[in-house]
Structure 1
Amino acid sequence: MISNQPSDFSADLTNERLQTICELVLDTVQDSIDDSSTKNDTKWTRGCLRYGRVHGLLMQLTLDKNYPWLTLANKTLDFTFRIGKTLVQYVYDDYEAPKKHHRIKPNTLENTQLSLGLDLDDELTVASWRLYVNQEQGHENDQLKATLVGYDINQTPVCIWSHEETVNIPMYAEQAETVDIPEPILTRKKSSNDISNEAK
């Protein structure tokens, strides 16, 4: 089964939750890019900041009561978070042409969940979920993009969901009719001498 709706594979992965997580992650990654764009930054400092800031964001969000559906399954450098009961890993890479192939493979936590699921004879179509963030080269300001990909046990994508940012469209308002204003009649301002002469 191939679908672009993660909720077809996991009821935890609702559009609302995914949109929320993606917007927060994209904002954090953009901030890290802005903060590491000096002449003294290297690929290493930029890469570490883009990864470490998202790690820190997720740690903070798990403490926020507005996101009870979000938890950190492990807080190590190879961190994995849960949306509901579904494990997800964050990767700064292009899912269409990944450079970090090792990040596609399930980690120990995901392998444990996978083996438990297979023991229960559950039909696990998706073995691992990855939230990819990357910059689309050639777009204005190198726009950031977030994509959630679900892989089967052979690391083949079976679900690809892309975050779509909502654009505020200005409301249409009818143009008000023009009103003709008559030209004022101009008169010379009277001085204090003129006023005193009139009084006599």
Structure 2
Amino acid sequence: MNKSLPWQHKAALTEDRLNTIARAFLEVHNGVIERLSTSDDCNYTRGATFFGRCRNRLISMAQSSSYPWLTLGAGGMDITCEISGVPFRFFRDDHESPKKKGFWRRNASDQLFAPDDETPVIFRFIVERPVNDENDPEIYFVGYNSTEIAVTEWRYGQVVVLQSLDETIPAAVEQQPAHIGVRNDENDRQSDTGTMK
């Protein structure tokens, strides 16, 4: 099944808003790696700190007037925020095969029933652990249908590839050869020094 982009289902889920939240997760990740790289740290201490700091960052952002589109739905340990009324949660997991406890648990703000299999009913930000400390994590925003199948997916930093929606092949455009000339060294020296003769 081809996955659509989140804003094709919910107009509130703009790429700019998703970028804002993903950048916050990336900043937290980089801060944790920078500060917790001692011999006393391990994946557990970094993971717990990452979760706690992301949770606090989202709460702070939701309470800030800088992000009027972001609100706090539930501020407990399984924090739920909303982007203009669309609820989401975040996890540090594998976006293709999530395994974290509570990942599929729905709360009162999730849409419980959908009219079809292409409609997402739960949304999750998923931060995938990088292979090593030199790499950044991959951050996804995924919408799942009522049977827990991903139907919409966006990745932070993803390069958008344009594709044709029909079979029409654009007409070829003839391009003239580039103008080539001999440089005049005297004029180049004058423009480099900013003086005119």
1:91-130 equivalence runs, <5 A:
91-100=91-100, 102-110=101-109, 113-115=110-112, 118=113, 125-130=119-124
Pairing 1:5-84 to 2, within 5 Å after superposition: 5-84=5-84
Give distance in 1, aligned partners of 2:39 and 2:99. 25
Shift of 1:46: 1.3
| TM-score when normalising by structure 1 | 0.72
Deviations 1:47-81 (A, max 9, x none): 11110000010111112111000011101011111
Quote the Cα distance in structure 2 between the aligned partners of 1:148 and 1:14.
11
Partner secondary structure for residue 58 of structure 2? helix
Aligned to 1:151: 144
1:94, CA displacement in angstroms? 2.2
Identity %: 27
SS at match of 2:140: strand
- Specify which structure has the higher proportion of helix: 1
1:140-163: CA deviation from partner (whole Å, max 9, x where unpaired): 812222111111111111111111
Q: Which residue number corresponds to residue 142 of structure 1?
A: 135
**Contact kept? 1:106, 1:128, Cα under 8 Å:** no
Unaligned runs of 5+ in 1: 167-175, 182-200
Kept in 1, the 8 Å contact 2:87–2:122? The answer is: yes
Q: Which residue does the alignment assign to 2:126?
A: 132
Q: Distance in 2 between matches of 1:37 and 1:154?
A: 40
Alignment partner, residue 177 of structure 1: 188
- CA distance in 1 between counterparts of 2:47 and 2:55 reads 13
Please give the alpha-carbon distance, in whole angstroms, between the structure 1 residues aligned to 2:35 and 2:121: 35
Root-mean-square deviation over aligned CA pairs: 2.7
Whole-Å Cα distance in 2 between the matches of residues 41 and 99 of structure 1? Answer: 24
SS of equivalent residue, structure 2 residue 188: coil
Structure with higher Rg: it is: 1
| Letter of the structure 1 residue corresponding to residue 98 of structure 2 | P
Letter in 2 for 1:114: Q
Residue 92 of structure 2 contacts residue 129 of structure 2 at CA under 8 Å; is this kept in 1?
no
User: In the TM superposition, what is the alpha-carbon distance from 1:2 to its structure 2 partner?
Assistant: 4.1
The whole-number CA distance in structure 2 between the counterparts of 1:54 and 1:156 is: 26
CA distance in 1, matches of 2:93, 2:24: 17
Query: C-alpha distance in 2, partners of 1:127/1:2?
Result: 17
Ranges in structure 2 where 5+ consecutive residues have no aligned partner: 160-186
Query: Contact 2:6/2:154 (CA < 8 Å) preserved in 1?
Result: yes
Against the structure 1 CA distance between its residues 60 and 165, is the aligned structure 2 distance closer, same or farther, given a 3 Å change threshold?
Answer: farther
**Separation in 2, partners of 1:178, 1:103:** 69
What's the offset of the Cα at 1:29?
Answer: 1.9
